[in-house]
Each structure stands twice: as structure tokens, then as C-alpha cells.
Amino acid sequence: MNRKISIRMSGLGGQGVVTAAHILGVATTLEGLVSTVNPFFGAEKRLAPAESYVRISSSQIDERGEVLYPNIIMIFHPHVITLGKCYTMPFFDGLQPEGILIINSEQPLDLSKEDLTKLGQLNARLFYLPATQIATQVAETELSTNIAMLGGLVGVTRLVSVEAIRESLAERFGGRKFLASATTAALDDVLKSKFAQVTQLVDRNMEVVHKASEAVQEYFIKKKEAGSLCMLR
């Protein structure tokens, strides 16, 4: 990698957006890259808007705070788009040309013709992933939705290896408690309580990563039929 990659993660409180950013940041650092992670949220309550920003580079990173012009946007819940539960509107505001969108949804959302036209003008790549469904089926808890989203990211971009994600997961849940906020720490404890051992938590969530990386599907905007999508595979 010879350039900086900026990622904006948008979701709802309780989905582990902050945790996902931390796991990704640690994973990239383990692979010798430089990363910064900045969470942003208002009231710490379930289903309130929450965002995290991750910057990844092979060299020093001077920027801090909010990512205004992301290369990648990850949408952890459809309500970020359909109900406007987002600090940034429209949800893809600032997306760089040829940027990537990864949306957690079992079906393509009914995006407006205007939004699809703008995404088409950006030559954006649009991916859908049933992250919550995979988390529930494989890890048997919606709390692994964020891990599924990381799996989708790995499947689309190969920014980090699955081995680095595994090591980061083990460090996050097997080491000293990570304190971004009281709510984040509590969610970590709830997730850990669903598994007999940390090794089981890591193994099951790595199954989520692998399943999600295979399940993510790309759609593109028909240039001659603005407002419609086609699946690439």
C-alpha cells in the first residue's frame, strides 16, 4: 500500500461500530502498517447513531478526528440509510471517486434515483452483505454483526489478512479490557458471556469472518437506466 486509506463506519448504538474500528486498527498495525482510530457518538444508547473512523497507511498519519472524504464507507444497519440515522447526509457524502460502499442488508435497498446517479458519477463500487444474518446463524448472536462487516471488508479489499483479524480478536477479548466507553466495555462483556472460553469466541467469530468474506456481493448501477442495480455475481 503506497497511499492512505480512510474508512467511515456508520451504524447504530449497540452494533459494535467502535469495536470493529479498534479490531481493524490493531490488525493493520500487526501487519506493519500505521493506523489511527477515532470513535464518534452522541448519547450512549441503543439504536442511536454511532460512527468510527479508521485511517490506514504505510507511512505517518497526521490527520485525526472525523473522516470527511472516505475511500470506504461501511453501513452497519439499513436504518442509517432508510431512516437517516447518520451524522452525515446523504450517507455517502464525501465518498472519494471509485470509492467503496459496503452495506449490511439481506436485500439491495431502494436507493433514490438521485443517490444512484451520484454514485454512478463517482464510479463507486456498491456491495451488500447480510452481516446480521450471518452473525446470527454462525455465531448465534447479533453482537457479531460487526465482525461480519469486517469479514466483508476483507473479502472486498484484502486490506488486512484473516490471520491479523484473528490475532486482533484474541488481543481484544483475551487481554486487558478495552475502554472506549462504558457501553463498549459492557458489550464486550456480553459477547464474551455467550462463549465458554475466549478461544471459542475467536474461533466462532473467525467462522463469521470467512462466511462474510464469501457472501459479500457487488452491484453496479446501470449507466443507461439510472436508478437501477444489477448484481455482478
Domain boundaries, the chain: 5-231
DSSP state of 137: I
In the numeric block, which cell numbers belong to residue 60?
A: 505517518
Q: What is the pLDDT of residue 7?
A: 98
Return the CATH fold of 5-231.
Answer: Pyruvate-ferredoxin Oxidoreductase; domain 3 (3.40.920)
Whole-angstrom Cα distance, residue 125 to residue 23?
24
Nearest to 14 by CA among 57, 43, 45, 37: 45
Report yes or no: 140 and 173 within 8 Å, Cβ to Cβ: no
pLDDT-wise least confident of 11-15, 140-144, 177-181: 177-181
Give the model's confidence band at 183: pLDDT under 50 very low, under 70 low, under 90 confident, else very high: low
219 strand-pairing partners: 126, 231
Angle at which helices 145-157 and 162-174 pack, to 10 degrees?
150
Residues 6+ apart with CB under 8 A from 182: 44
Instruction: Tell me phi and psi for residue 7, to 5 degrees.
Output: -125, 135
Whole-angstrom Cα distance, residue 213 to residue 150?
8
pLDDT digits (tens, 9 = 90+) for 28-61: 999 999 999 998 865 555 668 899 999 999 999 9
Whole-angstrom Cα distance, residue 219 to residue 216?
10
